[in-house]
């Protein structure tokens, strides 16, 4: 059955890709993203979701994955969707975008570093993008694959945060985002402790010690610890406004409890 399915995929999809299926989907996605940001027409939201689901399906099929995953325009468009502020209106599309980004970065891990719009000039993850990823978690409560995908992307981007080389003012911005999303982080970890236990048992069986979520939590811990080390050199009002000791300790405890 599996071999038959692959034959059908090759027979049907390979010619369509040669005829420009990827370009058609990019054009459609560009149009729908323009409508989303400028017009906000609810009737068009299902169209956006269908396009994203098509791209997600194609990016894991052998005859299509290379062309889809290496397309920087697709990557930029879905990253823009992650940063869209009113996620309730397009929550399903945002979840699909998270899955698509995770698949793309797994296939082309260096792609993130080559797209300046997603990264700051210093090479650090874009704050609205990082915040947008955390904002999607409430819409993934029943989708373990989507949650894993989000943690995967968050881990990949937090690895690029070089906290030891940052000024206190730059580091403060990341700390502020992490603290503002601490409830989201805690809720996700608490609500899915059973899933986490099963995953850890599976990882132990396979001989692997860590996963994307664990890596992300360790990076959060490192960033917060670096901020704690800089506290004495920061202005008092900076600390009071953006990173109280209580909030930092709470988030550190959360991270330590799940790593």
| pLDDT tens for the chain, residues 1 to 259 | 445 566 666 677 777 878 888 999 999 999 999 999 998 889 999 999 999 999 999 998 888 888 898 898 999 999 999 999 999 999 999 999 999 999 999 887 666 565 434 545 555 568 899 999 999 999 998 889 999 999 999 998 898 888 998 888 889 899 999 999 999 999 999 877 656 555 555 444 444 444 899 999 999 999 999 998 887 666 555 555 544 788 999 999 999 998 8
Residues of the domain holding 99: 1-118
Q: Return d(Cα 118, Cα 137) in angstroms, integer.
A: 20
CB 113 within 8 Å of CB 119: yes
- Is residue 113 in some structural domain? yes
Q: What is the pLDDT of residue 138?
A: 95
Q: Return d(Cα 71, Cα 180) in angstroms, integer.
A: 33
- Is residue 66 in some structural domain? yes
Question: What does pTM read for this prediction?
Answer: 0.85
- Is residue 114 in some structural domain? yes
- Is residue 188 in some structural domain? no
- Is residue 151 in some structural domain? no
Q: Say which residues have a Cβ less than 8 Å from residue 40's Cβ, sequence separation at least 6.
A: 86, 89
Q: What is the pLDDT of residue 65?
A: 84
Structure tokens at 218: 């360790």
Bridge partner list, 44: none
- Is residue 238 in some structural domain? no
Q: What is the pLDDT of residue 208?
A: 41
- Is residue 242 in some structural domain? no
Q: Return d(Cα 149, Cα 96) in angstroms, integer.
A: 10
Q: With the C-alpha atoms ordered 69, 28, 141, 87, is the resulting torsion angle positive or negative?
A: positive
Q: Return d(Cα 22, Cα 7) in angstroms, integer.
A: 20
Residue 240 dihedral angles phi and psi, to the nearest 5°: -70, -35
Residue 165 dihedral angles phi and psi, to the nearest 5°: -105, 0
- Is residue 14 in some structural domain? yes
Q: How far is CA 129 from CA 24, 31, 247, in A?
A: 26, 21, 22
Q: What total number of domains does the chain contain? A: 1
Q: 127-136 and 168-180 are packed helices; what angle lies between their axes, rounded to 10 degrees?
A: 10
């Amino acid at each position: 059955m599996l071999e038959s399915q692959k034959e059908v995929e090759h027979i049907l999809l390979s010619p369509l890709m040669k005829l420009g299926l990827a370009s058609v989907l990019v054009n459609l996605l560009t149009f729908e993203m323009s409508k989303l940001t400028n017009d906000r027409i609810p009737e068009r939201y299902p169209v956006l979701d269908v396009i994203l689901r098509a791209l997600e399906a194609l990016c894991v099929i052998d005859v299509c994955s290379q062309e889809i995953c290496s397309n920087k325009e697709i990557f930029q468009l879905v990253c823009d969707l992650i940063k869209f502020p009113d996620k309730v209106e397009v929550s399903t599309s945002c979840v699909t975008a998270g899955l698509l980004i995770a698949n793309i970065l797994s296939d082309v891990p260096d792609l993130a570093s080559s797209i300046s719009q997603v990264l700051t000039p210093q090479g650090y993850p874009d704050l609205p993008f990082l915040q947008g990823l955390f904002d999607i978690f409430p819409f993934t409560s029943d989708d373990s694959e989507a949650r894993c995908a989000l943690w995967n992307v968050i881990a990949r981007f937090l690895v690029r945060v070089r906290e030891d080389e940052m000024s206190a003012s730059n580091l403060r911005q990341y700390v502020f985002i992490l603290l503002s999303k601490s409830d989201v982080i805690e809720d996700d970890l608490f609500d899915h402790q059973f899933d986490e236990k099963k995953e850890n048992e599976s990882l132990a069986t396979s001989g692997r010690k860590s996963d994307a979520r664990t890596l992300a939590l360790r990076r959060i811990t490192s960033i917060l610890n670096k901020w704690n080390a800089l506290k004495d050199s920061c202005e008092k009002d900076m600390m009071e406004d953006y990173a109280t000791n209580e909030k930092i300790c709470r988030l550190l405890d959360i991270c330590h409890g799940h790593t």
